[in-house]
Chain A
Amino acid sequence: MRAVLVKTLADLRRRRLQAAVIFLTVLFAMAAGTTAVTLMSQTRDPYQIAFDKQRGAHLQVAFNATTDRQLMSNTPALIGASASGGPYPASNIQFRFGDRKFYVDAVGRDNPGGAVEVLSITSGRWPLANDEIVLTRSFSELNRISVGDRLKVTSVAQTPSLTVVGEVVDIDEGSADLSSQRAWMLPAALPALSTPDSSFYLMDYRFPTDPTSAQLQSSLDRLKTSLPAGSVAGSLNYLLIRSIFNITNQILTGVLVAFSVFALAATIAIVATLVTGIVISAYREIGIMRAIGFTPYQVVEVFALQIVIPALAACLVGVTAGTLASQPLLANSSHALGLAYTPTFSIGLDVLFLFGGLLVVAVAATVPALRAAQLKPIVAITKASAPRGAGGRLLRQGAARLRLPRPVVLGIGDAFARPLRAILTLVTVLLGVATIVVAVGLPRSFELINNSETGAGNYQVIVTRTSAYPDSEVMRLLNAQPQTARVVAVGGQNVIVPGVGDPVNTHLFRGDSSRLGYMVVAGRWYSAPGEVVAPAALIRDAHLKIGDSFTGTANGQPLQLRLVGETYDINNLGHSLFMDISTMASVTPAVEPFLYDITLTHGSDVSSYVRRVATAQPDLLDVRASDTSLIAPVKIIDLVLLILAGVLGLIGVGGVFNTLLLNTRERIRDTATLKSLGMSPRQVVVMVGASAGLLALVGGLAAMPLGLTLHHLLNDAISGSAGNDTPPAAYGVFAAWELTAIPLAGVVVAIAAAMIPGRWAARSNVVEVLHAE
C-alpha cells in the first residue's frame, strides 16, 4: 500500500493542473448539492415547529359582519375542531405612515395568547389602549415601521392616530412581501375604525391532527351549509400558508437539486475523461509498474487514488461550504417564523452526502482505470501510449472538402480522434451551456411576468381612494391633470364559483383593461359584459374550459358568466376573475372602483405627478408610482441561477480545457512532427483552437434545445406552484440572434481556454519531444 501511495502522490505532484480541475468541479457539485439537501431536509421542519409552538390555526374563516355570534361560537363543534379562537371582530383599514399608505386587516383581540393562533411578541408589548396597535414583524421590517411610530388611519373620516406598541410573528399568515397582513388592537378600538363594508369576523380552528386539503374543504362546506347563505366570506388554511412560507426555498431547492445533478454529471464526465486520458498516455509507465511488481489492481488504485484524493479534499470543503451557504436561507426562514435561529445541519446527512459524492467520483475514476489492469506488461512497456485509430476521419475529410486551412482541418479531426473523450467533453459543454440558457432565460421570464403583474410600461401611477372620497371626485381630479393619458379604474367583489371552495376575488375594470399588460395564456381578453378571464387554478378547480358559460353567485344573486380566456395572476394562487365592472353592476349596482391605474402622457414626470395628485387629498387618497421592482424571493432565485450558471459554465470550460490538455499532451509527438515539417507556432495554436471550437460548437448547439426545454419546464413548475400556466411569451424570451450567440460565445470562450494548451504545444521543443519518444 505504501508503494501505491508513494506512486500516487508522486503522480499527483506531476499532474497538479488536473488535480486542480478535479478539485474545483467536485467542489462546485458538492457545495450546490449540500445546499439543496440541507434546505430540503430543513424547510419542512421549521414551519411545523413554529406551527405547533404557536398553536397555529388549521383553518381560518372570515364571516360576514352580520353573522350571528352565537352561531359562530357553535361552529367548532360543528366541524369537529379541537380548539378555536374568536370570533374576533375585524376590519380592513387603511393608514398613512410618512407619505405612504397601507392596508391591513385590523383584528380585535384582548391578548396574544389563547388556544389557537398564539401571537409571538418579538418586540414591544400587547395594546393596552384603544389608540394602540400591534403589527407583524414582517410588515414592520418591510416598510421600516418601528415600535413607537404613529400611524394615521385614513379609511375613516375621523382619521384617528394609532401608536405602534409591538411587533408579533403570526404563524397563520404569509410574509409581508407575499401576502396581505393583519394588525391587532383591543376589540373595543375597532368600531371607531370600521365601516360597514369593511367589517367582518374572524375565527380560527384547530383540529386534533393535521387535516388534509380535502378534510379542510369538507369542514368548510359543512360551515357553509349550516349557516345562513353568505355567512362565510372567505377562508384560509395552513397548507396554503405553509406553501407561501416555503415557496422561495422550494423553488431554490428545485433549482439547486437540478444543477447539483448537472454539476455531478459534468464531474463524472471530466473524471472519466481524465482517467481515460491518463491511462492512455501512460502505457509505458503502466508496463514499468507491472514489471517492478505492482499487481493489476494496485495499478488501478494508483490511477483511481489520483482522482479520489483531490475529490476527497473537494468533498470536505464542498460539503462544509454548502452547509454554510444554506444557513442564511434557513436563518431567514427561522426569522420569518419567529423561531430563534440556531445553526441547522445534519452531520449524518453531510457525511452521507460526502461519502455518496466520493463514491460516485471513485466509481467514475475506477471504471476507466480498469483498462490499466487489463494491459499485458510487455505490450504496455513496448508502446508509449494506446494506439490511435482513425477517429475524426470523416470530420477531417469534410473539413478538407470545405477547403479550410490545414491546421483547422487537423484540429477538427483531433477533436473527435478519441470519440468517448469527445462525447464526455460534449456532456460538460452541454450541461454548462444549458445552465447558462436557463440562467439567462428564467430571470427574463420572471421579469416579463413581474411586468404584467405590476403594469410596467403600461401604467405608471396607482391611486387608491378611501370610501370617504367618491369615485367621481377621483376621476375629476385625475382627468384634470394634463399628464393623464388613460385611467383604468379597478374594483373588487367576491364571487362564488361552482366547484371552488372559497369565494373568488374579482378584478372589476372600468376602462380599457386590455392595455394594462395582463398576459393572455389562452383564448382572449374579455371584450363584452358577461365575459370573464381567469388563471389556470380557478379554471381547473371549477372544471371549466375556454368558451364555457357558468353561473356564479355575487351578492346572493346569480351571475351569468362566460369564460373567454386564461390569464396569469399569482395573487390568491391563481384564484381570481377578471371582468368589466358592468358585468358585476348587473347584480350589485352600487359596486364602484377603489383603485386607479393611470397611464401618463409620454415624457411626463411621474414623481411630480404623484406629488401633485397626493397633495389634493393627502388623507383620502393613496398615490404612488407603480412599483415594478422584483420581489425579494425572485431576486434571490435570479442570483442563485446566475451563480450556478457561472459554476456550470466554468465546469464546461474546464471540461474542454481538460480534454485539450489531454489531446495536446497525447499528440505532442504529432505536433512536433508537424512543426518539423514547417507548421508555425501560430498554426499549432490555430489547430488546438479549432479542436476546442468544434467541441464547444457541437456541445453548444446540442445544449440549446436542452436549455430551452429546461427553461420551459422550470417556468411551468414555478407558474404551476403559483396556480398558473406559463404564458407563451414567458417561453419566448430569447431573440433569434441570441440562440446563435450563446453557443458562439461558448466557442469563443473555449478557444480562449485552448490558448493555454495551444501555446504550450506551440512552444514545445521539437527535438526534445522527438528525442523523448
Chain B
Amino acid sequence: MKELVRLTDVTKVYQGGITGALNGVSLAVEKGEFTAIMGPSGSGKSTMLNLVAGLDRPTSGSVSVSGTDLGKLGETGLARFRRDHIGFVFQFFYLLPNLTALENVLIPAQLKGDGSTDRGRELLEKLGIADVADRYPARLSGGQQQRVAVARALINNPTLLLADEPTGALDTHTGEQVMELLGDLHREGQTILLVTHDAKLATRHAARVISVMDGKIVDDARLASPERAPSEVIRMRSEEKLR
C-alpha cells in the first residue's frame, strides 16, 4: 500500500524545553489504514495528530503527508494543505455556534471557493442528520454535533481523516455510533488516524493500534482482523513493553 503519512524522528518540546510532548518519534501510515493512537493523558498522542494536521510544528524532525513536507510550508500553505488533504474531528466538536449544521459542514468547501451545498446535504443525509441541517449547534445533541463535525471533516474529500478523542464528550451509546460511522468510512476507503485513550474502542475498529507513552511509541500492533483482537491483548502487550 502507498505511504500517506511519515513522521521522521519528530521531537516536540513545549514550555521552553521543560517538558517534552514527543521524543524522537518515527512513524509511517499507509493509505487506507484505520490507525488508532492510544495513550494516557499527556502522552503526546494529540500532539502527534496536531503535527500531522499541520496545526503545530515539530521542534525537530520532519512530518510529511501525501508526499508534502509540512515543514516547508508557510502558514498559508499549511492552511491550503489542511483544506485539501485533512479532515479534523475534535473531541468537543468545535462547531461554529452562529452557523447552522449545514453551514458548518460547508465551511471548508467554501473556504476553497466551492459554493455548492449538494455535497453538504448529501453528507448530512448519509450520516442520518439531514433533518437538523438548519439547526444551530446549541439545539443539537452531542451525537448530532459530532456527526456534523464528521460531515464537515469529509466535505472536501480529505486524503486523511484525523479524529482526536471523537467520543470523549459523548455517552457510551452515542460514542459507539460515531465509531461505527468512522468504521463505515474506513471500509469505503477513507484513511483514518484516531486518537483515543479507550483501548476497547481502538481495538474494535482500528486495524492498527499505536501505543504512546511519555512522548514515545511503545507499541505498534497491526491487527489482521480488528474484531478478533481483544483489547486485553493490546493492554497486556503495552504493559509488557513498559516493564
Instruction: Name A residues whose Cβ lies closer than 8 Å to a Cβ of B.
Output: 387-393, 396, 403, 405-407, 409, 413-414, 417, 669-670, 672-683, 762-763, 765-767, 770, 773
Contacts and interface: CB of A to CB of B under 8 A. Distances in A.
Closest 9 A/B residue pairs (Cβ): A678-B83, A406-B110, A680-B79, A673-B94, A678-B82, A680-B76, A766-B55, A677-B108, A767-B56
B98 A677 contact: no
A417 to B, nearest CB: 6
A729 to B, nearest CB: 49
A763 B79 CA distance: 12
B135 to A, nearest CB: 10
Contact of B83 (A414, A677, A681, A773): A677
B75 A406 contact: no
A674 B96 contact: yes
A770 B98 CA distance: 18
B92 A773 contact: yes
B112 interface: yes
Contacts of B47: 767
B168 interface: no
A253 B27 CA distance: 76
A677 B97 contact: no
Contacts of A396: 98-99
Contacts of B37: none
Contacts of A414: 98
Given A678-B108, A680-B75, 14 more contacts: A388-B98, A391-B98, A403-B115, A407-B111, A670-B97, A673-B94, A674-B111, A675-B79, A677-B107, A680-B80, A763-B75, A765-B56, A767-B50, A770-B94
B59 to A, nearest CB: 13
Contacts of A406: 107, 110-111
B118 to A, nearest CB: 15
A669 B94 CA distance: 8
A682 B76 contact: yes
A677 B75 contact: no
B138 A387 contact: yes
* Majority secondary structure, A binding face: helix
Contacts of B213: none
Interface string B72-104: 000110011111101010101011111100000
Given A403-B115, A413-B98, A676 B76 contact: no
Contacts of A680: 75-76, 79-80, 111
A679 B96 contact: no
A678 B47 CA distance: 18
A384 to B, nearest CB: 11
A139 B108 CA distance: 76
A388 B97 contact: yes
A670 B99 CA distance: 11
A676 B98 contact: no
A391 to B, nearest CB: 7
Given A387-B138, A388-B97, A767 B55 contact: yes
Nearest to B75: A681
Nearest to B149: A673
B216 interface: no
Nearest to A388: B97
B66 to A, nearest CB: 15
Contacts of B83: 677-678
Contacts of B113: 405
A683 B115 contact: no
Contacts of A672: 94
A683 B98 contact: no
B111 A676 contact: no
B53 A676 contact: yes
Nearest to B81: A678
Nearest to A675: B79
7 contacts: A407-B111, A674-B111, A676-B90, A678-B81, A680-B75, A680-B76, A767-B56
Contacts of A403: 115
Nearest to B156: A678
B111 A390 contact: no
A771 to B, nearest CB: 8
Contacts of B95: 673
B152 interface: yes
Contacts of B86: 678
A27 B86 CA distance: 51
A681 B79 contact: yes
Given A390-B136, A680-B75, A674 B98 contact: no
A677 B50 contact: no
B94 A683 contact: no
A414 B96 CA distance: 11
Contacts of B107: 406, 674, 677
A762 B88 CA distance: 19
B94 A679 contact: no
A396 B113 CA distance: 16
A339 B97 CA distance: 68
Nearest to A406: B110
Contact of B98 (A392, A405, A407, A766): A392
Contact of A683 (B55, B79, B92): B79
A675 B90 CA distance: 13
Contact of A678 (B50, B98, B112, B138): B112
A417 B96 CA distance: 12
Contacts of A407: 111
Contacts of B152: 677
User: Which of the listed residues A392, A679, A683 has the most CB atoms from chain B within 10 Å of its own CB?
Assistant: A679
B230 to A, nearest CB: 33
A673 B82 CA distance: 12
Interface string B141-156: 0000000000010001
Contacts of A763: 75
User: Which of the listed residues A390, A392, A406, A669 has the most CB atoms from chain B within 10 Å of its own CB?
Assistant: A406
B222 to A, nearest CB: 29
A673 B79 contact: no
A684 to B, nearest CB: 9
A676 B136 contact: no
Given A403-B115, A678-B80, A680-B76, A393 B98 contact: yes
